[in-house]
Amino acid sequence: MYSLMDHDDFTKTRKALLATSAFLLLVNHLQISGDSLTVVGLMFKLDKSVILGFGSLFLIYFIYAFAFRAFELYMTRKITEVRQGLKEVREDIEKADETSSALRWELLQRAKHTLSVVEGATVKLQSSVMIGLEVGPPLVLAIYTGCSIGAISAARSFLSL
């Protein structure tokens, strides 16, 4: 099940989204008889709406992650195309004999500058993916959970025992 939670790249995120969606469709169409499940002497109450609600959190996250990874994939391909095109232009400029050396130098500098801008955009894209996908959602969920369960007061109460 852990491999289905992985979202390191576009393909893994797509698989996680599909698996979560399929699981929720299955749970939604299950006919649950009775309201409890006994495992090793422990009785668990089953509530279909709770299962669907909890699963929906994963679904929402994986939709978000999938959209983020799709954008990352698109931008990475575009940046790679631009980078390759600039490298080819730079190589052509370096090979050109008929161009004056001043013009050749100016074109080469412009190509190098544009390439450095593309490299900067790559770094910004990687940073935004890290913050928007790897850091932000877990942090928001942890803060929400802490507020929902009253974590600070529970910790104080526990520490005062």
Is the torsion defined by CA of 5, 10, 15, 18 positive or negative? positive
Buried residues in 1-13 as b, exposed as e (16+ CB within 10 A): eeebeebeebebb
Mean pLDDT by 10 residues, the chain (161 residues): 61 81 79 70 77 85 87 86 81 69 76 82 86 83 84 86 73
Residue length, the chain?
161
Give CA separation, 76 vs 70, 115, 118, in Å.
10, 14, 10
The pLDDT, as a whole number, for residue 103 is: 72
Alpha helices in the chain (DSSP H): 2-5, 10-29, 48-95, 101-129, 136-149, 151-159
The pLDDT, as a whole number, for residue 22 is: 83
The pLDDT, as a whole number, for residue 98 is: 61
Task: Return the residue matching tokens 């939604």.
Answer: 28
Separation of alpha carbons 131 and 119, rounded Å: 19
Give CA separation, 136 vs 5, 13, 101, in Å.
17, 17, 50
